[in-house]
Amino acid sequence: MTDDPAGDADTGSRSASSSGPHRLVTGRLVIATHNPGKLAEMRELLAAYGVEAVSAGELGLPEPAETGTSFAANARIKALAAAKASGLPAFADDSGLVVDALGGEPGIHSARWAGPDKDFRRAMNEVQTRLVKIGAKTPEQRRARFVSALCVAWPDGHVEEFQGEVAGTVVWPPRGNLGFGYDPLFRPDGHDRTFGEMTSEEKHGLPPRGRGLSHRARAFLKLAEACLRRRP
């Protein structure tokens, strides 16, 4: 396979929770995550827009229970909790790996599969073990998607929500040590390398420098179009 942009079609969709014009993000923004990898990616995506980002961890905010049944619901829970606790707009992501042959798992439980010590090597082994158990050996039997739901919430309860995804294949063994989470396990369509073998710029670079390949970048492009303005 070769790096072919034709394989990069985004099948995610954008939705806002309220009718009327989108609300712009200005000033400080809380990134509602305690995950260092996600924090670094989100700060990188926000850099071009002159937004001053501070993390929930830096503010000492607690992590709310993610009781939603979808990526969008969990992103909303995290963003609203951080916005109300901080008095500032808050930006949250909920994302994960959806493996078709496993009935969509690990899905919203992607982080949980890594356990309290965030051992994603163990989580990737679990994905492979389950695929082997059901005899999923060919690329067609190992189809998967990375999904990212983004939510920006304000202290008054207003929310803006967006989603992006990228399709690909689960490979074994994992390849590469870049990125985080399940990246070494996932080869996006149209590419011969996994996310674990790609640089941050290749995965998350936004136009005109990049193509916004990753699920998070695709969702972020929709958010940026609606709620952000590039700094001059």
Would you say 194 and 178 are in contact if contact means Cβ atoms under 8 Å apart?
no
Q: Shortest CA distance to 152 belongs to which of 98, 224, 45?
A: 224
Q: How many CB atoms lie within 10 A of CB 38?
A: 22
CA separation for the pair 104, 109 (Å, rounded): 10
Check if 119 is active-site: no
CA separation for the pair 131, 212 (Å, rounded): 29
To which residue do tokens 């939705």 refer?
Answer: 15
Would you say 113 and 106 are in contact if contact means Cβ atoms under 8 Å apart?
yes
Phi and psi for 35 in degrees, rounded to 5? Answer: -90, 115
- The single residue of 93, 94, 100, 192 carrying the catalytic annotation is 94
Show which residues are catalytic.
94
